Amino acid sequence: MSTCGEVLVQLLERYGVEQVFGIPGVHTVELYRGLARSTINHVTPRHEQGAGFMADGYARTSGKPGVCFIITGPGMTNIATAMAQAYADSIPMLVISSVQARSQLGGGRGKLHELPSQSNLVAGFSAFSHTLMSAAELPAVLARAFAVFQAGRPRPVHIEIPLDVLVEEADALLASQPVSVAKAGAGPAAIAQMTGLLAAAKRPLILAGGGAVDAAPALTQLAELLDAPVALTINAKGMLPSRHPLLIGSTQSTVATRELVSEADVVVAVGTELAETDYDVTFAGGFEIPGALLRIDIDPDQTVRNYPPSVALVSDAGAALEALLAALTAKTLAPRCAEWGSTRAGALREALEASWDNATRGQTCFLQTVLEVLPDAVLVGDSTQPVYTGNLTLNLEQPRRWFNSSTGYGTLGYALPAAIGALLGDNREASARRPVVCLIGDGGLQFTLAELASAVEARTPIIVLLWNNQGYEEIKKYMVNRAIEPVGVDIYTPDFIGVAKALGCAAEQVQGVDTLRTALRKASDSQLPTLIEIDQQSWMNGMAQC
């Protein structure tokens, strides 16, 4: 006899699941009954929040949903922050949890790990939450979950299985097959309207977001055909290579880029919320789109939020961009304004580069040193100063290589477990994997420091670059600027090198560019996770090396 828990594992395999993150407990052991016999790899974090962040990082590099097995009650409250981060950034995540037996749901009887309603708990940060009331429902609810991942706006899905359902006989379900759902195509009427506006445009511009990362070739061709400057959100970095003449980066928080956007007569926004945290943490306002706005998104609701469109299209980004490209190629385009396109984009880049202050230059030098030594690295960031700077100044060569928690939901402690997941998301042979670099501050690292042990156990040789400024410096500056006496920001700083070594990692401190280069080369050859500590003040004092 196969139980519901055993069949679940087999059905997940059929949907292509290769990796699960979870911490076994008395309420989830039945989920593990068939796991050892499967092809699915399991990683044990040191906290359920870490499981969620690992699943998030895994999804971002692999393009597949990250899957978690989570225990009733505290497991769900622990993973809530990670689910909310994934929800904010439209990351596919499947959280499968146990829950009390059907006869005890919502009973308030003081059962182990009992909550009044786990589904209500996660309702605000999941695409949906479903309680499996019989094993027979399992194939249908998995089909719903993967339909969201395959064809909708990808967000966390929660499936909870009562303890008595987990052990139900489910042999009959082994005959079920995975369901594949195609994404929405490009509606001809909307494409025709957009084509007409773009063909007549004299100053077209493109804003592309994380929802379009798999459509980079079509986006690049469309931009070149239109001679349109391209601004990317933080999660879309790399859609155009760093030196592309039409790229204006992720600089929409700057006055100069906002002026450029306001000059455009037609703006194509694809796969982006057009939200303040798409580009940088800024509360100054002032981002205006006076030209005709053409919005393309897989989520109908999102096409009309924040900025109302002239034309909206609900479609897969790739299908829409390819349709626009084909339609515009067949038309005669109006002449572009002189000094638009690559000329205007180049002038903007030069002006911005000349405007950066010393702190921005020093942190950019730090990031560029990393890419000089590790040109193919995936950079996973936390809320820390070099990440804020990189959001603004750094451009990558390919997508899915720069993501972080410094904007959007904005949680601390994300980068370390997410980096573990990101490395596991690269399913190539170990020797062919891209290096994964965690960028994190001393405050953020203390949120999830124990996950260094998980990295050792999972044999994931991530490189943790610890930017140490002895506390929550960004918040301290914010308090000072608002005439608030700083309280709670000058926190105790432990011996990170000693802690990392005690947890099984390699670790060292570096002082400047040359020692960082040497440490990075050493770390990239290691089979162990490596923590490299950079003292902020020492780095800035050595700016002459940059």
Predicted pLDDT at 185? 93
- Cα 396 from chain centroid (whole Å): 15
pLDDT in tens, 194-248: 999 999 999 999 999 999 999 999 999 999 999 999 999 999 999 999 999 999 9
Rounded to whole angstroms, the Cα distance separating 306 from 152 reads 20
470 closest CA partner among 410, 535, 531: 535
pLDDT of residue 332: 92
Tell me the C-alpha to C-alpha distance, in Å, between residue 147 and each of 46, 133, 271, 290, 297. Answer: 31, 21, 18, 36, 16
d(CA 210, CA 456): 31
Could you give the residue ranges of the DSSP H alpha helices within 356-414? 358-373, 385-393
Q: List Cα–Cα distances, 76 to 48, 53, 128, 144, 180, in angstroms.
A: 8, 13, 15, 21, 29
Those residues with Cβ within 8 angstroms of residue 362's Cβ, 6 or more apart along the chain or in another chain: 539, 540, 543, 546
**Is 209 within 8 Å of 233 (Cβ atoms)?**
yes
In what order do the strands lie in the sheet containing 378-381? 402-404, 378-381, 436-441, 463-468, 530-535, 506-510
User: With 70 as the cut, is the pLDDT of residue 280 above it?
Assistant: no
pLDDT score, position 99 = 93
Which three-class secondary structure state does DSSP give residue 318? helix
Q: What is the pLDDT of residue 166?
A: 95
Q: What is the pTM of this model?
A: 0.95
Mean of pLDDT over the chain: 94
Q: Is the pLDDT of residue 135 over 90?
A: yes
Is the pLDDT score of 422 beyond 80? yes
Cα dihedral 121/57/183/87 (nearest 10): 30
Give me the percent of the chain exceeding a pLDDT of 90. Answer: 88
Q: Which CATH number fits domain 356-545: 3.40.50.150, 1.10.1370.30, 3.40.50.970, 3.90.1150.10?
A: 3.40.50.970
Task: Inform me whether the pLDDT recorded for 525 exceeds 50.
Answer: yes
Does 467 score more than 50 pLDDT?
yes
pLDDT of residue 542: 75
Domain ranges of the chain: 4-175, 188-352, 356-545
Count how many residues are written for the chain: 546
Asked if residue 497 lies in contact with residue 508, where contact means CB atoms within 8 angstroms, the answer is yes
Quote the CA–CA distance of 531 and 462 in Å, as a whole number.
9
Instruction: Give the tens place of pLDDT for each residue, 349-393.
Output: 999 999 999 999 999 999 999 999 999 999 999 999 999 999 999
Predicted local confidence at residue 544, as pLDDT: 60
pLDDT grade for 278, boundaries at 50, 70 and 90? confident
Q: How confident is the model at residue 283 (pLDDT cuts 50, 70, 90)?
A: very low
Structure tokens at 243: 């030196």
Give the pair of three-digit tokens for residue 379: 């950079």
pLDDT of residue 282: 52
pLDDT at position 107: 80
- 389-406: average pLDDT: 95
Residue 276 is predicted with a pLDDT of 81
Whether 4-175 and 356-545 share one fold: the answer is yes
Class at the top of the CATH hierarchy for domain 188-352: alpha beta
- Residues in CB range of 82: below 8 A, 6 or more apart: 48, 49, 50, 51, 52, 53, 55, 56, 93, 411, 414
What type of residue is 305? R
Q: What is the pLDDT of residues 472-485, one digit of tens each?
A: 888 898 899 999 99
Across the beta sheet with 41-43, what order do the strands follow? Answer: 41-43, 19-22, 66-70, 93-99, 156-162, 128-131
Whether 534 contacts 469, CB under 8 Å: no
Mean pLDDT check: name the lowest of 113-127, 154-168, 314-328: 113-127
CATH of 4-175, one of 3.30.70.520, 3.40.50.970, 2.40.37.10, 3.30.470.20: 3.40.50.970
